[in-house]
Amino acid sequence: MSNVEILDKIKQIIGNIAGLDPKRIGDADSLRDDLKLDSLSLLEIGVDVDLAFKLNLPDERYKEVQSLPQMVDLVEQRLGELSGELSTVQAGAV
């Protein structure tokens, strides 16, 4: 999954939860300062992002995220970890 696809999906999730037009969300927006999201909205976004990308991360990991680029980085990093785990499992099964 490309960086742009991840970014677009996260914007869509934020738009659905916050009632914002995803096209008006900037690629480098701060979640609290620029988008004016509160703690409850941020928690909902974290849960939805986790489900959408099947990340299996604890909620605490999302509390560290302050901006859209940080959220994209977190998703990319976790997807990379998961694909590495999958490769290891598949290699062990051969």
- Domains in the chain, start-ordered, CATH in brackets? 3-93 (1.10.1200.10)
Name the CA dihedral angle for 3, 51, 64, 32, rounded to a multiple of 10 degrees: 80
Q: Could you report the per-residue pLDDT of 62-92, keeping only the tens digit for each?
A: 988 999 999 999 999 999 999 987 666 555 5
What is the pLDDT, as a whole number, of residue 1? 86
H/E stretch holding 82: helix 68-93
pLDDT at 59 over 90: no
Q: What average pLDDT does this structure show over 38-64?
A: 94
Query: Helices (H) and strands (E) in the chain — how many of each?
Result: 4, 0
Percentage of the chain with pLDDT > 90?
Answer: 82
Residue 2: band (very low, low, confident or very high) from pLDDT cuts 50, 70, 90: very high
